[in-house]
Amino acid sequence: MKPQNPPKTYRVKSFGCQMNVYDGERMAELLGAKGIAPAPEGEEADLVVLNTCHIREKAAEKVYSDIGRLKKPDGSKPIIAVAGCVAQAEGEEIMARAPAVSMVVGPQAYHRLPEMLDKAVAGERATDTDMPAIAKFDSLPQRRKRSPTAFLTVQEGCDKFCTYCVVPYTRGAEISRPYSDLIDEARKLIEAGAREITLLGQNVNAWGGEDDAGRAIGLAGLIRALARLDGLERIRYTTSHPNDMEDDLIAAHGEVDKLMPYLHLPVQSGNDRVLKAMNRAHTAESYLRLLERFRDARPDIALSGDFIVGFPGETEAEFKDTLQLVDEVRYAQAFSFKYSPRPGTPAAMMDDQIDRQVMDDRLQRLQARLNRDQFAFNRASEGRTCTVLVERKGKRPGQWLGKSPWLQSVWFEADCQIGDMVEVELVEAGPNSIRGALNQPVTV
Ligand code: 5AD
Ligand code: SF4
């Protein structure tokens, strides 16, 4: 590779989950600390970081086509870094197949991006897919994100090894960030204007640490401590695993006002044979009982889940068990996917891979029910008055968008600004958002 001019501008393009969004922000902060500026809207940057996702199909192909399309106005290629889970899983292959790529950096190694960039400028290509998880957080610059909502990664990695999932291989073993680091980072985010913090982890409810007094605490303890921080109004967390759910977290939903009434708890399937083949280590029944306990603690809690249709060997009758579970839970929101064989995972080697058309049909039927329930949940909120955290301007002048406590998108007209908490009556529900009306003058 030829030596290249040091970049003046950068762009980080993040795909996939919220953890990638968080990582993308931190990479942007690293590049900012190196004196590189974000590229103006609509202009290609001198340095592009593709922060990739490997969870479902065609991830790698998408990366190659994105690389092919990157071009600066003068026709030359920007300096390209491939980060995220595709980088971790297929780093060597990317280096071999895509000569335009200067850097491949895994999710646990991106704190080394600035040194790698120096090498790239000198004309050397560099790959770093090591997994020394905690080191990364220790060597990142301070948070400076200015936004009323912020993500905070508290836990990374996964030891569950669901048979379809690539995460244990790309993100590595479960690790929890230390309590004091998290309180510190939360304080910085609040100083920079965050009023809502979403705690992130692949198994966020497996977080464990020691508080300042040296007592062992779990996620609920961390949430209770964060709730004591002035200026922070809302706390959320995602994604949880049913098997790591501690009693105190359920109790916290009834006790901590700042903890929002929303739970994202993936189940994947409503059939016990399929759940076992997925290595989920819970049953449909134990999952439903768990949800009941959340509803007892916080009757208005909005429930959300993840589903996979067409796992190898899934029969029509087994799929119908998933539909039945959905009918029982009545989710406020949900995410559903066609099974996608991931290289290196046990399920990819299983017999009885399901026909594409069967999967399409099942996904459609499942989504019809999930959409029905989401709309019904929104309609049931009509007439309620709640606090909305204003996140951005709407399409028309005077229009604003924000989220209800139940994570519904609410739009309304008001004289307010981003970051305000406003009292809004939920007037008219749509399938994906709700029209609201301001209930009182804005208080900041
Ligand atoms: N195929 C389809 N969906 C998957 N997910 C994870 N792995 C796969 C796969 N191989 C889904 C699960 C998980 C969500 C983040 O992505 O539902 O909860
Ligand atoms: Fe993947 Fe299962 Fe771990 Fe979630 S719990 S990240 S689905 S292996």
Residue 251: Cβ within 10 Å count: 14
pLDDT one-digit tens code per residue, 14-72: 998 999 999 999 999 999 999 999 999 888 899 999 999 999 877 788 899 999 999 88
Cis peptide leading into residue 239 (ω within 30°):
yes
Nearest residue (CA) to ligand 2, atom 4: 202
pLDDT one-digit tens code per residue, 62-91: 899 999 999 888 889 999 999 999 999 999
Q: Is the CB of 312 under 6 A from ligand 1?
A: no
Atom of ligand 1 nearest to the CA of 17: 15
Atom of ligand 1 nearest to the CA of 307: 17
Distance CA 269, CA 264 (A): 15
At 280 the pLDDT is 98
Instruction: Collect all residues with Cβ–Cβ distance below 8 Å to 409 and sequence separation of at least 6.
Output: 401, 402, 403, 432, 433, 434
Nearest residue (CA) to ligand 2, atom 5: 160
**Chain-wide mean pLDDT for the chain?**
94
At 432 the pLDDT is 94
Q: How far is the CA of 55 from the centre of ligand 1 (A)?
A: 6
Q: With a cut of 70, say whether residue 440 has pLDDT above it.
A: no
* Least distant ligand from the CA of 163: 2
Q: What percent of the chain has pLDDT over 70?
A: 98
Q: How far is the CA of 418 from the centre of ligand 1 (A)?
A: 34
**Stretch 155-181: mean pLDDT:** 95
Nearest residue (CA) to ligand 1, atom 6: 165
Q: Is the CB of 133 under 6 A from ligand 2?
A: no
Q: How confident is the model at residue 134 (pLDDT cuts 50, 70, 90)?
A: low
Cα dist from 396 to 392, 411, 426, 433, whole Å: 12, 11, 19, 16
Q: How far is the CA of 204 from the centre of ligand 1 (A)?
A: 16
Among 123-127, 144-148, 155-159, 248-252, the minimum mean pLDDT is found in: 144-148
Q: How confident is the model at residue 335 (pLDDT cuts 50, 70, 90)?
A: very high
**Stretch 322-332: mean pLDDT:** 98
**Stretch 360-373: mean pLDDT:** 98
Confidence (pTM)? 0.93
Q: With a cut of 90, say whether residue 138 has pLDDT above it.
A: no
141 against 294, higher pLDDT: 294
Q: How confident is the model at residue 181 (pLDDT cuts 50, 70, 90)?
A: very high
At 442 the pLDDT is 53
Q: What residue ranges define each of the domains in the chain, with the CATH number in brackets? A: 9-131 (3.40.50.12160), 136-380 (3.80.30.20), 385-443 (2.40.50.140)
304 against 138, higher pLDDT: 304
Q: With a cut of 60, say whether residue 436 has pLDDT above it.
A: yes
* Least distant ligand from the CA of 205: 2
Ligand 2 pocket test, candidate residues 165, 279, 345, most atoms within 8 A of CB: 165
Q: How far is the CA of 191 from the centre of ligand 2 (A)?
A: 33
**Stretch 211-230: mean pLDDT:** 97
Q: What are phi and psi of 155, to 5 degrees?
A: -145, 145
Atom of ligand 2 nearest to the CA of 159: 3
Q: Is the CB of 266 under 6 A from ligand 1?
A: yes
Question: Which residues are 10's β-sheet partners?
Answer: 38, 47
At 245 the pLDDT is 97
* 358, amino acid identity: V
Distance CA 403, CA 91 (A): 38
Q: Is the CB of 267 under 6 A from ligand 1?
A: no
Q: How confident is the model at residue 113 (pLDDT cuts 50, 70, 90)?
A: very high
Distance CA 240, CA 201 (A): 8
Q: How confident is the model at residue 141 (pLDDT cuts 50, 70, 90)?
A: confident
Q: What percent of the chain has pLDDT over 90?
A: 87
- Total count of residues recorded for the chain: 444
* Least distant ligand from the CA of 282: 2
**Stretch 219-247: mean pLDDT:** 97
Q: Is the CB of 17 under 6 A from ligand 2?
A: no
* Least distant ligand from the CA of 160: 2
* Least distant ligand from the CA of 203: 2
Q: With a cut of 70, say whether residue 441 has pLDDT above it.
A: no
Nearest one of 44, 59, 57, 60 to 10, comparing CA atoms: 44
Nearest residue (CA) to ligand 1, atom 12: 306
